[in-house]
Structures are given as C-alpha cells and as structure tokens.
Amino acid sequence: MNFKLLPIVSAEAEIKRTHYQTTIRSADHVIIADEPESAMGTDTGMNPYSLLLASLGSCTAITLRMYIDRKMWIVDEILVQLELYKTDAGTLIDRKLIFKGDINDEQHQKLINIANVCPIHKILTGDIKVVTS
C-alpha cells in the first residue's frame, strides 16, 4: 500500500548574504540562528549547537511541568542545564535537572525518568534518518 507521510512539524531555514544569520520559520514563529563573531558571524542569534540544546531543554522542561501538574506536586520552578561535549566516542549531552519546590528523593528519581522520555530526548537517542534531496 502506498501512502504519503505527513510531517508532525515543518520548518524552513533561509540564509542570505549576512554571514551567517539564518532566519528559521515554523508555523507562525520566527527565530534567528547565527554564528559568533569569532566564527565570522554577526552573533544575532544562537548557533545551531545551542539551538539543539534549547530544543532538548525546552522539551524536557515542558514534559516535566506537564507531569508535575498532573501529579499536583508543588514545584515552583524547573531548571534544565545542558552542556554539549565532543568525545572520542561521539557526542555527549550532560543534562542536569534542578527543582525548586517540595519533592522527595523518590519523586526526584521519577522526574529524571520522565525527562528521559520527553519527545526530543527520544528522537536524539533513537534511530534518526535525514533524507536530503
């Protein structure tokens, strides 16, 4: 049976002659990506590595907030700190979760498990194929 895949989300990135300022559009939203001046960019937006971490961090925070709200736990703030490393074995993302609120050790461990199933985490640790045409 032939069928067409429908995207869950789409985006487009457009670069003109300003080094290396890129306009990214998705739905009704626009962000700017760029490179720092040290890399000949104009430093008007996050670089692609930062955007990758921002995607994981925001997805993690949103997923945790949804879970915490559903459980009615008292957590006033969720901070997701991320660092990206290149290693001999590939790439490592170090993610630290900090909660301001009233949670115990068992709840904290559950939240770590929930962070590991946020959709972007699953994409990054799953089987990714990029088809270019």
Q: CB within 8 A of 9, min separation 6: which ones?
A: 26, 27
> 29-74, pLDDT tens digit by residue?
999 999 999 999 999 999 999 999 999 999 999 999 999 999 999 9
- How far apart (Å, rounded) are the C-alpha atoms in residues 93 and 102? 27
Please tell me the distance from the alpha carbon of residue 64 to that of residue 131, in angstroms, as a whole number: 31
Q: Mean pLDDT across the chain, nearest whole number?
A: 96
Mean pLDDT, rounded, for 76-101: 97
| Cα(45)–Cα(35) distance, integer angstroms | 7
> Domain residue spans in the chain?
10-45, 48-125
Burial 49-78 (b: 16+ CB within 10 A, else e): eeebbeebbebbbebbeebbeeeebebeeb
Among residues of the chain, what percentage have pLDDT more than 70? Answer: 98
Regarding pTM above 0.85, the answer is yes
Residue bearing the bigger pLDDT, 3 or 27: 27
CATH T-level fold of 48-125: GMP Synthetase; Chain A, domain 3 (3.30.300)
